[in-house]
Amino acid sequence: MALPDIRTPETTERSMTSADTDVGTPLIQVRDLAVHYSHRRTGGSLVAIEDVNLDVTDGEFVTVLGPSGCGKTTFMNVVAGLVAPSHGQVLVDGKPVTGPGPDRAVVFQDYALLPWRTVIDNVRFGLEMQPHLRGTGWRERVQEAIETVGLAGFEQSYPRELSGGMQQRVGLARAIVAEPRILLMDEPLGAVDALTREVMREEIERLITATGKTVLFITHSIEEAILLGDRIVVFKSHPGAVKEVLTTGIERPRSERSIQSDARFLELRDHLWEALRGEATAAATRSSS
Amino acid sequence: MSIQTQLPALRATGRRRGTAQRGEARWTFLLIAVVLAILAVWEAVVRAGLVPEAFLPPPSKVLTAFLALLVEGEFWQAFAFSMGNVVVGLALAIVVGVVVGLAVGWSPVLRFTVAPFLWLLYSTPKVALAPVIILALGLGSESKIALTFLLAVFPILLNTMEGAVTVSPSLVRAARVFGVRGPALGWKVIFPATLPFSLAGIRRGAALGFTGEVLGEFLGGTGGLGHMLEQAAYQFEMDEALAMVVVMVIIANLTLSLIGLLQRKLAPWHDERTAAAS
Amino acid sequence: MSTLLASGPGLRQRGPGAWLAGLSTRGKAAVIAVEVLVMLALWQLVVGVLGWINPVFVPPPLAIATGFGELVSTGALTANAPISVQAWLTGFAIAVVTAIPVGLLMGTSLPVDRVTSPIAWTIYATPSIAYQPLAKAWFGFGIGPVVFLVTISAVFPILLNVAAGMRTTSASLIRAGQVYGANRFQLYRSIYLPSTTPFLFAGLRQAVVLATIGMTVAELAGSATGMGALIIKASNTYQTDQAYAAIGIVVIWSVGMTRVITLVERLVAPWTRKGHS
């Protein structure tokens, strides 16, 4: 299959720096990244990801697509500063990541809301550890974030009183309230029901593209990856590594409906389907042997 | 997983292989070292005369008294008496607790009519009934068996009931779909699903039953480990009294580990955390 | 009590079971109230009127009520109850003040946990009655042994629950805290401590029950005063109606203190309330 726009990992770096932006270094640079976990019982070690190289420019929406267990969450945790790389490094704005920082916010798959806090206090959590944001005006910031995600009227509710979709809106509001440059989203819609998921995909697409944030969005849904991403990074498993990087090149705003008839969408979907099916088959053979 | 391994987020990958087993052994070693240190300090403090020996005998004296007990016929007689009563009382409590618990858990009508009273009795400190029971049944084994039974039966019963109630209706529906009905439904679905709960109840019941036996011996009668302990403390033979406490600590912990072993053996599929939450 | 309202595995569509299941919460409460009254009336009938059971061993409800009246009029209640309350509260307070810091320390430091946990479990597994004769020998005949037994009964459930709460704090909440910039201290204050709170209260509720058992045992087996001593004296003089009345008061104390803990929990940790959305 010959797709002109498909870029292999080797060519990505060059093409990205020379293409749309020539403002110098990309916002996120991932260099020869590898993470090995030591196995508790056996004492052996497990290679979660290996040889990951990726550049993300400022304002780009990158979706990371791969089968479960391919290390994409580990990858995101390294960028977030939650896991230290065993080899290689991640640079944000030219500086190596050594831990979590206010320039990066995370939306978690399991929401990770504090059950003992109301919606408003959960959102406030996103900025209360930032000394420069803690002072006056936080109330307006929090309120604005709550309204942005469409939760006005639920400020005093506890997370357990909200549906999964609404809980994830709280998670989203918490992530954007401190206005980080980078949003890391770890299958944020994975635990949300199908209908809500479709609505929220479009909302995220609108919201994020309007604010111009740089996003790393992890998903195992092909449609989601295409609908949201400027580029799609396909992961393979065992060990987790970048299989290929594709540019979607579909005009924004995109909607679930309009995109279905887009030739490029169909082309990408078929290609990704083949790629992931190969991965899944390989995984099945591995586990049966 | 412990907090210590979660907190420093950036440490996870730095660990070298093999640390896990060495870590476990290290903790056991540390525990033994700390316990030995406590015993040594205790011994030293008493030897130095900082604490009167009559008040708190040193560990060496307690050990001597403990070893002396093990070769004493009187001790084994007391042991047999107490354990005999506990076993009879506990066996009765298990039979009654499991049968009634299953029945009440299964039948909504029973659950509604009987369960409130069972809950009331469960939350009553039944040890307070000990004098009345001794009054009614005398100073022999009967009153002690009755106390053991009375204290042990409610946790078993209510845990079993809780288990039977929480058997997922979808599990029962699934069993019916595959043609399981009547007693087979009880035997193949309800009983196994309830078993871990019953075992958890038996664990608590055993500890309470032991309390019942010892309390019965404190309040009246002339036999048993509790009686021996009380006599020793009363005559201020603190080394023997402490040795008796050690005996009880050993019995209690052995019983609990035995039941724990049964739990793992009979219900290995059970997740302890979900039972703890209920 | 939630089991009462659960549907259970019976899956019956008709009959009294279905009727009961269909009742509102208030309707169920009414049915239970009626049941309690019927039960009391039956008890009175069987023991008090028909005399099928020796009333000395199980006195009928009205006799127990009379017994309560006697406890009040003779001043036995005012002489003994405050002593028990004092011992209980002192012992419980000591237990809480000791258990919470140690539990937090165990939850924080792995070495402390690995050393303290096995020792705590070993002592906790042994019924506290085993320590009673020692307490009597060490602290004499006053309130001392009772306080000791209340403390040793109450301290371990609190301690072990707090430690478990700290250790089971959700890893993803900790990650969220780190992502949003919490330092070690902030992580404690805003993640670990709140997630441990429900465990603390669960431990406190267990501790109330065990402390009451400890108090009763200590007073039964060697106190001249207190509710346990009152129960023993009344039983030994065949005034079992008074003994049952005294037992009833101990039950009310135990249930009441459990309620108090639950109310405090609602105040301090409203998010744990099972709620209406």
Number of domains in chain C: 2
Same domain, yes or no: C132 and C260:
yes
Q: What is the model's pLDDT at position B192?
A: 83
Q: What is the model's pLDDT at position A33?
A: 93
Whether residue C224 is contained in a domain is answered as: yes
Is B267's pLDDT higher than 80? no
The whole-angstrom distance between B6's CA and the closest CA on chain A is: 10
Same domain, yes or no: C173 and C137:
yes
> Is C41 in the B-facing interface, judged by CB distances under 8 Å?
no
What is the number of other CB atoms lying within 10 angstroms of the CB of residue B208?
A: 24
Whose CA is closest to B261, among B216, B207, B202? B202
Delimit the domains of chain B by residue range.
3-51, 62-277
Whose CA is closest to B212, among B104, B101, B130, B272? B130
Whether residue C94 is contained in a domain is answered as: yes
Burial of C271 (0-12, 13-18, 19+ CB in 10 A): middle
Whether residue C259 is contained in a domain is answered as: yes
The whole-angstrom distance between B57's CA and the closest CA on chain C is: 12
Say which residues have a Cβ less than 8 Å from residue B37's Cβ, sequence separation at least 6.
none
Tell which of A35, A37, A38 to mutate to test the B interface (max B CBs under 10 Å): A38
Q: Which residues pair with A215 in a beta bridge?
A: A61, A183
Task: Please give the Cα distance from C148 to A278 (Å, whole number).
Answer: 69
Measure CB to CB from residue A80 to each of C170, C179, C186 and give the nearest one: C179
> Is C179 in the B-facing interface, judged by CB distances under 8 Å?
no
Contact criterion met (CB < 8 Å) for A129 and C175: no
Contact criterion met (CB < 8 Å) for C118 and B127: no
> Is B69 in the C-facing interface, judged by CB distances under 8 Å?
no
Same domain, yes or no: C38 and C79:
no
Contact criterion met (CB < 8 Å) for A37 and B12: yes
> Is B242 in the C-facing interface, judged by CB distances under 8 Å?
yes
Beta strands at A231-236 and A214-219: parallel, antiparallel or unpaired: unpaired
Q: Is CATH 1.10.3720.10 the right assignment for the domain spanning B62-277?
A: yes
Q: In chain A, helix, strand, coil percent, each to 5?
A: 40, 25, 35
Read off the DSSP letter of residue C66: H
pTM of the model: 0.82
> Is C191 in the A-facing interface, judged by CB distances under 8 Å?
yes
Contact criterion met (CB < 8 Å) for C11 and B172: yes
Q: What is the mean pLDDT of residues B48-62?
A: 90
Whose CA is closest to B218, among C87, C228, C218, C127? C218
Contact criterion met (CB < 8 Å) for C175 and A174: no
Please answer whether residues C201 and C265 qualify as being in contact, where contact means their C-beta atoms are separated by less than 8 angstroms: yes
> Is C252 in the B-facing interface, judged by CB distances under 8 Å?
no
Q: What is the model's pLDDT at position A12?
A: 39
Measure CB to CB from residue C113 to each of B2, B134, B210 and give the nearest one: B2
Measure CB to CB from residue B13 to each of A37, A81, A98 and give the nearest one: A37
The whole-angstrom distance between A35's CA and the closest CA on chain C is: 18
Task: Please give the Cα distance from B114 to B122 (Å, whole number).
Answer: 12
User: Chain B: residue nearest A83 by CA?
Assistant: B10
Q: Helices B191-219 and C193-220 sit at what angle, rounded to 10 degrees?
A: 40
ipTM comes to 0.82
Give the end-to-end CA distance of chain B in Å, rounded to a whole number: 22
Find out whether the peptide bond into A239 is cis, omega within 30 degrees of 0.
yes
> Is B8 in the C-facing interface, judged by CB distances under 8 Å?
no
Please answer whether residues B76 and B228 qualify as being in contact, where contact means their C-beta atoms are separated by less than 8 angstroms: no
Same domain, yes or no: C210 and C78:
yes
Same domain, yes or no: C7 and C33:
yes
Higher pLDDT, B216 or C275: B216
Contact criterion met (CB < 8 Å) for A81 and B20: no
Same domain, yes or no: C40 and C80:
no
Beta strands at A214-219 and A45-56: parallel, antiparallel or unpaired: unpaired
Tell which of A40, A42, A78, A98 to mutate to test the B interface (max B CBs under 10 Å): A40
Give per-residue pLDDT as tens, B151-185. 999 999 999 998 888 776 777 777 777 767 777 77
SS3 A174: helix
Would you state the structure tokens that stand for residue B75, as one six-digit string?
Answer: 């001790």
SS (H, E, C) chain B: CCHHHHCCHHHHHHCCCCHHHHHHHHHHHHHHHHHHHHHHHHHHHHHCCCCCCCCCCCHHHHHHHHHHHHCCHHHHHHHHHHHHHHHHHHHHHHHHHHHHHHHHHHCHHHHHHCHHHHHHHHHCCHHHHHHHHHHHHCCCHHHHHHHHHHHHHHHHHHHHHHHHHHCCHHHHHHHHHCCCCCHHHHHHHHHHHHHHHHHHHHHHHHHHHHHHHHHHHHHCCCCCHHHHHHHHHHCCCHHHHHHHHHHHHHHHHHHHHHHHHHHHHHCCCCCHHHHHHC
Contact criterion met (CB < 8 Å) for C170 and A112: yes
Whose CA is closest to B105, among B53, B162, B184, B58? B162
The whole-angstrom distance between A172's CA and the closest CA on chain C is: 12
Give per-residue pLDDT as tens, B75-98. 999 999 999 999 999 999 999 999
Q: What is the model's pLDDT at position B116?
A: 81
Ranges A7-16, B40-49, C81-90: which has the least confidence: A7-16
Is B39's pLDDT higher than 90? yes
SS3 A44: coil
Whose CA is closest to C255, among B63, B124, B182? B124
User: Chain A: residue nearest B11 by CA?
Assistant: A84
Residues of chain A with pLDDT under 70: 1-24, 39-44, 134, 283, 286-289
Q: What burial letters (b/e) apply to B154-178, b meaning 16+ CB within 10 Å?
A: bbbbbbbbbbbbbbeeeebeebeee
| Chains touching A, CB cut-off 8 Å, 3+ pairs | B, C
Confidence of residue B271 (pLDDT cuts 50, 70, 90): low
Same domain, yes or no: C141 and C16:
no
Q: What H or E segment, with its residue span, contains residue C33?
A: helix C25-43
Task: Please give the Cα distance from B89 to B221 (Å, whole number).
Answer: 17
User: Chain C: residue nearest A184 by CA?
Assistant: C179
Whether residue C180 is contained in a domain is answered as: yes
Is B273's pLDDT higher than 50? no
Beta strands at A45-56 and A28-38: parallel, antiparallel or unpaired: antiparallel
Measure CB to CB from residue C1 to each of B119, B136, B207 and give the nearest one: B119
Measure CB to CB from residue B9 to each of A38, A45, A82 and give the nearest one: A82
The whole-angstrom distance between B19's CA and the closest CA on chain A is: 7
Write out the residue range of the structural domain in which residue C44 sits: 2-53
Whose CA is closest to B74, among B222, B266, B221? B222
The whole-angstrom distance between C41's CA and the closest CA on chain B is: 14
Task: Please give the Cα distance from C198 to A18 (Å, whole number).
Answer: 56
Higher pLDDT, A25 or B146: B146
Q: Sign of dihedral through CA atoms B204, B205, B206, B207?
A: positive
Contact criterion met (CB < 8 Å) for C127 and B162: no
Place of tokens 């309690």: C36
Q: What is the model's pLDDT at position B278?
A: 31
Rg (CA), chain A: 19
Q: What is the mean pLDDT of residues C141-168?
A: 93
Task: Please give the Cα distance from A176 to A133 (Å, whole number).
Answer: 13
Burial of C94 (0-12, 13-18, 19+ CB in 10 A): middle
Question: What structural domains and CATH numbers belong to chain A?
Answer: 6-103+182-284 (3.40.50.300), 112-180 (no CATH)
Ranges C24-38, C129-143, C231-245: which has the least confidence: C24-38
Q: What is the model's pLDDT at position A229?
A: 92
Measure CB to CB from residue C186 to each of A126, A129, A160 and give the nearest one: A129
Q: What is the model's pLDDT at position C13?
A: 52
> Is B21 in the C-facing interface, judged by CB distances under 8 Å?
no
Same domain, yes or no: C7 and C100:
no
**How many Cβ contacts (< 8 angstroms) between chains A and B?**
38
CATH number of the domain that residue C85 is part of:
1.10.3720.10
Same domain, yes or no: C48 and C164:
no
Whether residue C59 is contained in a domain is answered as: no
Which residue type is seen at A216?
A: L
Same domain, yes or no: C160 and C229:
yes
Q: What is the model's pLDDT at position A4?
A: 42
Same domain, yes or no: C244 and C191:
yes
Q: What burial letters (b/e) apply to C154-170, b meaning 16+ CB within 10 Å?
A: bbbbbbbbbbbbbbbbe
Same domain, yes or no: C99 and C211:
yes
Would you state the structure tokens that stand for residue B115, as one six-digit string?
Answer: 């369960």
Higher pLDDT, A141 or C275: A141
Rg (CA), chain B: 24
Contact criterion met (CB < 8 Å) for B17 and A44: yes
Q: What is the model's pLDDT at position A30?
A: 93
| Chain C residues in contact with A106 (beta carbon < 8 A) | 175-176, 179
Share of chain C above pLDDT 90, in %: 59
| Chains touching B, CB cut-off 8 Å, 3+ pairs | A, C
